[in-house]
Structure 1
């Protein structure tokens, strides 16, 4: 049973009873720029778009047909209370820093769907009133709901179900639903075991063998193919306009005869549109060239049986557009084609998005909200040096108003992102496609049915998949060995994986073994300047959180390998030997790439052990026992890792093992073999470097000792 609360207005957190024509979202929660239509309380579908100002967010709708009729009225009222009310500070106290009086429209949508799952379960079990949801029914439902669910997901489910009870108490007609038992008992008793087997995993980084060719092709599109594609697109649009204006006249019939009949006589391929099933005469292309109407072309094709001919001899539809891009030293296309150009335009936009997603460290929503003009050309510095390109745009995570409520529109990031050259080029390409101040990935300009706002994450994921398919088809056709994109062992490529992959490569590929070798080093330079450049701060962890995790995992792997090598009898040498032994003796093992959220502070604490954190440098063939004050690579004051691309001889932080000495001699032999095939001046330099490497290896052999001998 439910009853309307008497004197509800006495409590400011309790809302009055809505009328059938009451708006679903009250005016005070709709931002001035939000023009999405509002629903009414009596409507069978509630649009939550008036709450959503982020162009990258899905515009959600609640379908009340999914809720059993006996429980629909109660659930509608509680949902309306959630949409327009706020949880009390006394309720939020002690629930953690992430607890909010109001959440986002998308989170409200997910919460309501969770409530509907409960309502359907109750209805199947003969319950027609939420007040009959007792503690025992809570336990029974949760046991079924969380079966096979990961721990993190289970915790979210419990929180959303608790909100049903909390907002139910604030509605004008409380239902009397029982308090969930996990609110009075330990929630751990209701959650799956924290064994790291499910949602404790963070997003997997992309495999280097996948990212390398993908990023290479993305930058190739942006730098080498963009001009050709955009010029062809403009020409195609011009021809499309001509085709739309075509008319059937005797002159255009003669033009058709002049264009197509010689092709028929000579047995040449006819301009064709190749669909999923069969080729057909490209009427739009022919109309643009002749001025004929589509209907006249159809009659001409019937008269001369062109349908049969074109299926046997389908031909291209070349555009009057130059081909300047090169691929493997040759023009990448014989000509730009009328029907291929839209596909290439989609891939160009995808390539630009991939470049921005990977090489900025932005979250996907932040990339989706970039606008034309976000990255202006910098002014020269006072000493005449070129300034850095900076990206100014919105961020969304943990953005709240003065009352602690979620702000859907986000806010302009106080600290701009730093854009390296490939990102600037990608932004410039997108700016040539969209109007000034428009979203760079605005759905209105990029061949999609996504509606208002920017390309959705799901759309971008599908386009990345299509881009990879195109890359592999092109690599096979052009016999470009090693340039295909293999399947990733951890699943599909999606927008959420690029951010962690950036941190993974900065931490584990300091020399740039995948692509853009120098840029990886440059990105660490930018990212480590936390105080001087204000790229990010500890209060807004941003990419630094991800980078710290990967750096800690990398350092732990290095220390563990060193421990195993020493246990196997290898010797060690170098000025930092004792510190390296200490680090190897006290390293924890982090199996796999399972990274629980609680690992972030552990990672930072691990990296903060200045002087006993180990970094393997495969380019310099040594291990760095990083200590800021003595490092010759001149790291910044807040750096927690060396500049491995700037490793210098004689640094007091270095150590080497017998394995390193062996690799030094192998590299020396490679240089000698290379010198035999090069001109004398270059050969002399290579042999000098080879001699230096052998001297370094000899020094190790003469000074190295086992771990037992050093104890």
Structure 2
């Protein structure tokens, strides 16, 4: 190997910083430890606001290996691999890793040394290729998935590589899988894993969840923010007030009629115990805490409040509506922190689901990330405003031109598109945090607890908050007699955060005309979310959309194949083409849908049949015959149909026997509605019903079958 001296680092001293100055992120510089310290925080290596700050605890490493691993770890943190080493291994290794990957790698090294110690090996020099072969075989017995095992093998390879760059190499042997390949040590391949295998959220769960999230942001946010501001004002007044005769008189005047009538007293709950709402009483009356305490001792206020707990209404107007009625008679002092928590969660749900961002990017948004657009100067737009765009930073996959991890993150090459509900959510978040802050700054959103540290809320916290938000929304649905808007449990488990992207792609691909929370169409989202902005940069959603679209097509083709085999018929201009295409069902059935295969299949027009249940037909799309593109505008992501603009009589349309039956069912429903509608509306309903029955009759007269096409 090349012995380029600049890759060889000097031997560190006990007081040498764990992270050298050139790699330290300034905001976390205070976390930097010294080489001899028993714990090494890796926070100085990352500016990612949503990741937890990992720490290497050397007590977890067998003592006989600590010195050797410590030196290799320090070398990896501050050094980089030889270019020649990387070139001979393609894209398998990066020269520098992220903080989380460094933690994962060193943890794998420690697990290796624990195994070595059980084998009677007490120094890395005795860890020969044959010993490492045994370790690889040992990993096979651990029943770990293929991807994780591959990472462990790569970590051991990295230990061997960096050991050669140490000022005092330990002499560990070359892993046999680095020379001969890792397949002999890997479990059998199953699925690709990751978000591509994550189950999308069920429609019956995602729909009402988004309705409540948007309702909180659009309809209730003003009340919540006003309640929080008033709560903060009262709390500050209680903290700073001094005892005066006026305050004492106001307190007694407020409580006297309640005590005389045996009415409930303002109460709050602290650690599960019902208490007198002292802060609230002080804030609204101007009495000091000591004055309230004295009155409590004389009248037994705390005991009365525990027996008869009452509300703490805020003196602010209620403007929000749920189903046309005021959602509260009055907002409560004790409820304001909870509502603020739910408001932040609702904003996260809207942003995460309606943009396609990954969780880390949503949590990394800052104030000003979504400025109002300038008027469009294109002559064809009549000066209309352009789209709102969100600029975010990537951290996990942030690398420079040489593949080295960028600890400070990098701005996405292109921004995400923000439709109106997302813009509304961002604007609400900007009002919740100071200028220049993260939109999900933990210091602001942790309204109940004040924890040390910087950054945003963490994904695990968001998961818990979503569960709490669902419980709150369901309670509100009961209170407002809206059983149809309750959020049912998802059949595949917890909602979490990682499932939003997959759910968005699933709905765009399979529900082209479906409504997203009161009139946002998924078809429009394909243009906005997956268009020429979010899809073109690293980590956009276009690849996930491609895969989900092909999955949907595969299901459609398979269903058509089975229907034709059972004697079903099809009609329409593209009927015979569809029958031929249905023969490709076995091709789909035997294909693992990866990003590469999805792109290849999408390019094959002959194999692609799209389902449009809202138009009661299939689309065997060919660009030159597509009436949905008669304006000449081509899809900016893929040359696929605009199913939300399906036009009757299009040369790509196909109708099945099931569609004909559905048309007649729909016509019957319209006739039923017509019997209970005013005359002009009734006539339109009956006309529409007659038109649908006409489509079904045409299908019956012109349908062809698989047998008919083979004669």
- Do the two structures share a fold, i.e. TM-score over 0.5? yes
Contact map agreement 1:556 1:588 (CA 8 A) in 2:
no
Instruction: Calculate the TM-score normalised by the size of structure 1.
Output: 0.93
SS at match of 2:585: coil
Residue 4 of structure 1 is matched in structure 2 by none
Structure 1 residue 80 displacement after superposition: 0.3
Matched, 1:28 2:25: no
1:375-405 Cα deviation digits (max 9, x unpaired): 1222222322232111122234533223321
Match of residue 284 from structure 2: 289
| Rounded Cα–Cα distance in structure 1 between residues aligned with 2:290 and 2:523 | 60
Q: Deviations over 1:222-267 (max 9, x none)?
A: 0000000001111111101110013334544333322223211101
**Residue 364 (structure 1) aligns with:** 359
**Cα distance in 2 for residues equivalent to 1:272 and 1:19:** 60
Hey, what's the Cα distance between the residues in 2 that align with 1:468 and 1:688?
42
CA contact (8 A) 2:392 2:412 kept: yes
1:317 deviates by 0.4
2:72 aligned residue: 78
SS state of the match for residue 201, structure 2? coil
Maintained 8 Å contact 1:443/1:450: no
Cα deviation for residue 71 of structure 1 reads 0.9
Aligned to 1:3: none
Aligned length, in residue pairs:
697
Query: Deviation string for 1:8-29 (max 9, x for gaps)?
Result: 9963222111111111111222
Instruction: Give the 5 Å matches for 1:535-550.
Output: 535-537=534-536, 540=538, 542-550=540-548
Counting only pairs closer than 5 Å after superposition, residues 20-99 of structure 1 correspond to structure 2 as 20-31=14-25, 35-97=29-91, 99=93
Offset, 1:540 = 3.6
Give the counterpart of 2:251 among 249, 256, 269: 256
Give the 5 Å matches for 1:122-161.
122-146=116-140, 147-161=142-156
Q: Is 1:441 aligned to 2:435, yes or no?
A: no
CA distance 1:200–1:309, shift in 2 (3 Å) = closer
Which shifted more, 47-56 or 197-206?
197-206
1:46, distance to aligned residue in structure 2 (A): 1.1
Give the aligned partner of residue 240 of structure 1: 235
SS at match of 2:224: helix
Which deviates further from its counterpart, 349-358 or 150-159? Answer: 150-159
CA distance in 2, matches of 1:482, 1:680: 30
The Cα of 1:528 is off from its aligned counterpart by 5.3
Structure 1 unaligned blocks of 5 or more:
1-7
- Rate the CA distance shift 1:516–1:170 in 2: closer, same or farther, 3 A: farther
CA distance 1:358–1:693, change in 2 (3 Å) = same
- Alpha carbons of 1:504 and 1:370: their partners in 2 closer, same or farther (altered >3 Å)? same
What do the CA deviations read for 1:1-57 (whole angstroms, capped 9, x no partner)? xxxxxxx99632221111111111112223566544321111111121221122222
The change in CA–CA distance for 1:332 and 1:150 in structure 2 (over 3 A counts) is: same
| Residue 684 of structure 1, CA deviation | 1.7
Match of 1:270 in 2: 265
User: Equivalents in 2 of 1:104, 1:420: separation in Å?
Assistant: 32
> Does 2:520 align with 1:507?
no
Change in Cα spacing, 1:469 to 1:140, as seen in structure 2 (3 Å) is: farther
Partner Cα distance (2:643, 2:376) in 1: 28
Superposed, which structure 2 residues align to 1:213-612 within 5 Å? 213-382=208-377, 383-396=382-395, 398-447=397-446, 449=451, 451-513=453-515, 515-527=517-529, 529-530=531-532, 534-537=533-536, 540=538, 542-588=540-586, 599-612=594-607
Instruction: Quote how far apart the aligned CAs of 1:349 are.
Output: 0.6
> 2:569, 2:703 within 8 Å by CA — same for their partners in 1?
yes
Instruction: Give how far 1:484 is off.
Output: 2.0
SS in 2 for 1:300: helix
Deviates more, 1:560-569 or 1:138-147: 138-147
Shift of 1:128: 1.9
State TM-score, norm by structure 2.
0.93
CA distance in 1, matches of 2:425, 2:336: 19
Superposed CA RMSD in Å reads 2.3
Which residue is equivalent to 1:675?
674
Quote how far apart the aligned CAs of 1:144 are: 4.3
Contact 1:511 1:518 in 2 (8 A): no
- Cα offset, 1:203, TM superposition: 2.2
Residue pair 1:668, 1:694 contacting (<8 A) in 2 also: yes
Q: In 2 relative to 1, CA 175–231 (structure 1 residues): closer, same or farther, beyond 3 Å?
A: same
Paired with 1:351 and 1:450, the residues of 2 have a C-alpha distance of 25
Whether the 8 Å contact between 1:612 and 1:626 is mirrored in structure 2 is no
2:698 matches 1:704 = no
Deviations, residues 142-177 of structure 1 (Å, cap 9, x unaligned): 444451211111111211122111111211111121
Q: Given that residues 534 and 540 in structure 2 are in contact (C-alpha distance below 8 angstroms), is that contact kept between their aligned partners in structure 1?
A: no
Partners of 1:143 and 1:336 in 2: CA distance: 63
CA 693–62 in structure 1, closer or farther in 2 if over 3 Å, else same: same
Q: Find the aligned partners of 1:517 and 1:558 in 2 and give their Cα distance.
A: 26
1:482 to partner: Cα distance: 2.5
Go from structure 1 to structure 2 and tell me whether the alpha carbon gap of 1:276 and 1:41 turns closer, same or farther (over 3 Å shift): closer
Q: Is the 8 A contact 2:584 2:607 kept in 1?
A: no
State the partner residue of 1:651: 650
Which of 624, 631, 656 is the equivalent residue of 2:626? 631
Q: 1:434: how far off?
A: 1.2
Measured after TM superposition, the shift of residue 101 of structure 1 is: 0.5
Q: Secondary structure at the match of 2:483?
A: coil
Q: Is the 8 A contact 1:579 1:612 kept in 2?
A: no
Q: What is the Cα deviation at residue 281 of structure 1?
A: 0.4
SS of aligned partner of 2:484: coil
SS in structure 1 of the partner of residue 243 of structure 2: coil
Tell me which residue corresponds to 2:8: 14
1:308-367 C-alpha deviation (Å, 9 max, x unpaired): 211221000011111111112211111110010000001101100110000011111111
* SS of residue matched to 2:563: helix
Structure 1 stretch 659-668 or stretch 645-654: which is displaced more? 659-668
Partner of 1:618: 613
CA contact (8 A) 1:616 1:624 kept: yes
The offset of 1:541, in angstroms, is 5.9
Equivalent-residue separation in structure 1 for 2:577 and 2:364 (angstroms): 47
CA contact (8 A) 1:450 1:456 kept: no
> Which whole-Å CA distance do the structure 1 matches of 2:78 and 2:121 have between them?
27
Residues 61 and 114, structure 2, Cα contact 8 Å, conserved in 1:
yes
Query: CA contact under 8 A between 2:127 and 2:172: conserved in structure 1?
Result: yes
